[in-house]
Amino acid sequence: MKNRITELFGIEYPIIQAGMIWCSGWELASAVSNAGGLGIIGSGSMYPDVLKEHIRKCQAATTKPFAVNIPLIYPDIDKHVETIIEEQVPIVFSSAGNPKTWTAKLHEHGIKVVHVVSSAKFAQKAEAAGVDAVVAEGFEAGGHNGREETTTMVLIPGVCQAVNIPVIAAGGIASGKAMLAAMALGAEAVQIGSRFVASKESSAHQNFKQTVIETGEGGTQLSLKQLTPVRLVKNAFFNQVAKAELRGASSDELKEILGRARAKRGMFEGDLVEGELEIGQVAGTINQVLSAKEIVDEIWAEFKQEQKRIAGFI
């Protein structure tokens, strides 16, 4: 397939794996890139030396392009950027912050920059900052989320209308059918997170992968809107936060409940009770752990099949 996104990244299919803390290390990123999509190392949970190790292992495991996601609120962001430049990573996906801060520097080193947004207004800001493309991520998505609760169905056409750079759709996409829908709305690629958490190569704990499979429709909810909105599985930790929110707990109280390293505890160490489990609504449709290649192949085959089915109506 050929469009602005496949050309920009030099990839076969416009299927991008989301950068996800504790779940997307070098193994998943290289497997997705080797399958013809774009793999992303999620650096938000990695100490600087760990990121360096993952980039080097990814380079050894694939000759194809891959990217690193940097949440701009990461405490040692300067070190991550330095590593990315030194190790000649070709593509960066930035999120959770102002794209003005790092885009020019990354571009100076020939690195392509994509920024993740949750509204048409932020998409325009990202375009003004000079990014090469945006990921428009809707309310269905797992993990960090926009405050406005704009769903993918509404967000994608709005963002496509607001900017001239290519748009990558994210949030609620885990199948070829959803990919086709997103492209009908104007996106030129999709970014997929939850489906790849439940993959063989993901570094998520086995318990978390099993939870993704068992989570049904309505099994997740946006939480902690007062701090940083995040979509979580409704486990005991989520319920504790929900109760506190209901009684009008202050931001400080919520921070105290959250504590430190909850995401690691849940997603990497597999504590399903006390841990934070970040996953999208679409977990409700995922019922099997497959390899990254099987996932990419399945999505691409379904995308083409559905295109034909719909063309048959006309």
Q: Where are the alpha helices (DSSP H) in 70-214?
A: 77-86, 100-108, 120-128, 152-162, 176-184, 194-197, 206-214
Rounded to the nearest 5°, which phi and psi values hold at 32?
Answer: -70, -45
Long-range contacts of 59-62 (CB under 8 A, 24+ apart): 59/87, 61/26, 61/27, 61/30, 61/31, 61/34, 62/30, 62/33, 62/34
Q: Identify which of residues 73 and 236 has a Cβ nearer to ligand NDP in the complex.
A: 73
- State the nearest-atom distance from the C-beta of 137 to ligand NDP, in Å: 9
Q: Identify which of residues 184 and 227 has a Cβ nearer to ligand NDP in the complex.
A: 227
Q: Of 268, 277, 283, 300, which one interacts with ligand NDP (CB under 6 A)?
A: 268
Interface region with ligand NDP, contact rule CB under 6 A, candidates 16-24, 106-114, 120-128, 236-244: 16-24
- State the nearest-atom distance from the C-beta of 80 to ligand NDP, in Å: 9
Using the rule CB under 6 A, is 39 a contact of ligand NDP? no
Count of beta carbons in the 10 Å neighbourhood of residue 272:
17
Kindly state the number of chain residues that form the binding site for ligand NDP, as judged by CB under 6 A: 31
Q: How far apart are CA 141 and CA 173, in angstroms?
A: 9
Q: How far apart are CA 145 and CA 114, in angstroms?
A: 17
Using the rule CB under 6 A, is 263 a contact of ligand NDP? yes
Question: Which residues, 218 to 237, sit near ligand NDP by CB under 6 A?
Answer: none
Q: Of 12, 76, 297, 298, which one interacts with ligand NDP (CB under 6 A)?
A: 76
Residue with tokens 């003005």: 100
Using the rule CB under 6 A, is 269 a contact of ligand NDP? yes
Q: Identify which of residues 6 and 95 has a Cβ nearer to ligand NDP in the complex.
A: 95
- Integer CA distances (angstroms), 277 to 126, 158, 213, 249, in order: 29, 30, 13, 21
Q: Of 9, 13, 22, 102, which one interacts with ligand NDP (CB under 6 A)?
A: 22
Q: How far apart are CA 131 and CA 125, in angstroms?
A: 9
Residue nearest to ligand NDP (CB): 44
Element (H, E) at 10: none
Please give the residue ranges that form the binding site for ligand NDP (CB under 6 A).
19, 21-22, 25, 27, 42, 44-47, 50, 53, 57, 71, 73-76, 95-96, 143-144, 203, 260-264, 268-269, 278
